[in-house]
Amino acid sequence: MDVVVIASCAAGRQAVGGRGELTLPISARMLAGLDLEARVVLVAVPTRDLLLVHPPALIAGLLAEYYGPRPEHHDDG
């Protein structure tokens, strides 16, 4: 799984705590390949009332792809 999507739901079982924390259930962590101490990248999408939790491996892969080897550019002028 590449991302855990957290949506707002009035009848949901999880809630944001008094310090602004949100517990990610162990089942969601396991599906995303996150151990208990894993750091994550949390992306808020306020216009859709969503939080996206990305595992570090996905972010590392995206950065490697973006900054990876690029074809050489030769100036023929």
Per-residue buried b or exposed e for 33-50, using 16+ beta carbons within 10 Å of the residue's own CB = ebeeeeebeeeeeeeeee
The total number of structural domains in the chain stands at 1
Instruction: Return the pLDDT at 76.
Output: 66
Residue written as token pair 């690029």: 70
Q: Which tokens go with 40?
A: 């994550």
Residue 47 lies in a domain: yes
**60: enclosing H helix or E strand:** helix 56-67
Q: Does residue 63 belong to any structural domain of this protein?
A: yes
**pLDDT at residue number 48:** 92
Within-domain flag for 72? no
Structural domain includes residue 44? yes
Supply the range of the domain harboring residue 34. 4-67
Question: pLDDT in tens for each of the 77 residues of the chain?
Answer: 578 888 888 887 878 888 888 888 888 888 878 888 878 888 899 999 898 988 878 888 888 999 987 767 666 65
Rg (CA), the chain: 18
| Residue 16 covered by a domain | yes
